[in-house]
Structure 1
Amino acid sequence: MGILNITPDSFSDGGKFLRLEMALRHAEQLIADGADILDIGGESTRPGAQALSLDQELERVVPIVEALSGCGIPLSVDTYKPVVMQAVLSAGADMINDIWGFRKPGAIDAVKESHAVLCVTHMRGDPKTMQEAPLYEDVVTEVGSFLDDRVKALVAAGIEQTRIFLDPGYGFGKCLAHNLSLVKHLPMFMRDGMPILVGMSRKRMLGEITGRKVPAERLAASIAAVLCAAERGATIVRVHDVAETVDALKVWQAVRMAD
């Protein structure tokens, strides 16, 4: 999954692809590099981020979804707003990636009649406050329980379980120890064939481990994190650096398949 942030303030690439033509050019490059899915985001969800107005998010994401509809690979939109969900689905989106886990009033209703894939993400708090001393008694158990509850809510609304993906939410209300535990125990989130999506690309947790303060300098760490996740059962990896990640996964897969 290649990341296409149409934001001025994302932690790694904010401001680079605000103009439609630049966003489209980057999308084309991500596809050429081997992305199987594009994840389009109009609102930054980095720690400390301010909420974006509904109109601003619609203005950012709907034109890019319309322009990329028919590009040959599925389009995911990273949003938690029900109105945006409905708008992008009408514009041609194939997937909704919701950091709130479809908890916002109206979110389930916005997606249930579609055929879109739905990614349920765990987040403690909200982007503005989520990294203010997050606490868990058992992070793996608590995240797993949250994901189970959200799956039950979606299924109860008539949504097929085959449409649901799960994301433990690395960096969303977790400290480094929590994130590492969630990576180590990733197989514990496997449930009835629902794919697991993992997003650790360039994140602060990797900077804390390596000492790399600049997100763009965390390529090697991001690839290592992807391989750790893939080895533990991740189905989709959400990354900024598609070409390099594809190469790393090809080598990993070749070794796994060797006699």
Structure 2
Amino acid sequence: MKHIQQLIDDDRYTKLDHCLTKSDINSKDRQNYRSCIKLISDDVLNIVTNDADTQGTDTRSLSGSFSTVINFTVSNFLRLAQKLSILNQIKYDDSLVSSNQLAEIDKLDVEEIISNAYGQAMYIVKHSEILNGLKRYNIINLTDLSTFLFDSFTKSSKMFGYSSRATSDDDDYQEFELNEEENYIQDLLDDEMLFDFEDNDDDSDQEMLNSTKSAFNGIKIVNNINPILRKSYFKIRINEKNKYLHKQLAC
């Protein structure tokens, strides 16, 4: 405010020229909005600008509508707002990508774990006869080993392998049509055999057991079985009733 003070004290100008008083620049007196308007009036700016010192130019540049300070502040605000918008968009996009790629990431993690485990296993057995056996059967890599194990489990398993190579849908449908009648007749024969088996079975191989329970949860004890699977079951008698116990559970 030093240059404004000099303007007020300058004898070349009167109050009619700049409309200022000393109280307008003294914040302890009565400086208010009206005083601020007077300080940046065109009359004051013209006088200060035409003055020989350089402070006039600084005052004009700082008080204009296109002030560097004002433009800098607004520019910073707009740039910050743009950054916040971009960050929010990135955060939103990341949330969508993470949910969509969750299954793929899990699959990659499992594959990497299996690959690392196979590598460690090969490192352990590289100086043993096991490695020679793998080479002999040409199952030295993970893919060949997986195929070999799959074929071995498929051949040794008595259960139907749903992961085995399936035939085409047309072949399955044709096979179903050809065997539908035969299966129906076979079911009727099995029912007759089951009836005869229950009536004519020899009681000499029965085991007599008494129990206060009528239901055996967790134990494969059934009332009837398919005669074809007769060798897989023991016939026992529980509470005066014929029952069948699977041999694997009796071991």
Which structure has greater helix proportion? 2
TM score, norm. by length of structure 2: 0.17
Which of 1 and 2 has higher RCO (CA within 8 Å, sep 6+)? 1
Which structure has greater strand proportion? 1
The structure having more radius of gyration, on CA atoms, is: 2
TM score, norm. by length of structure 1: 0.17
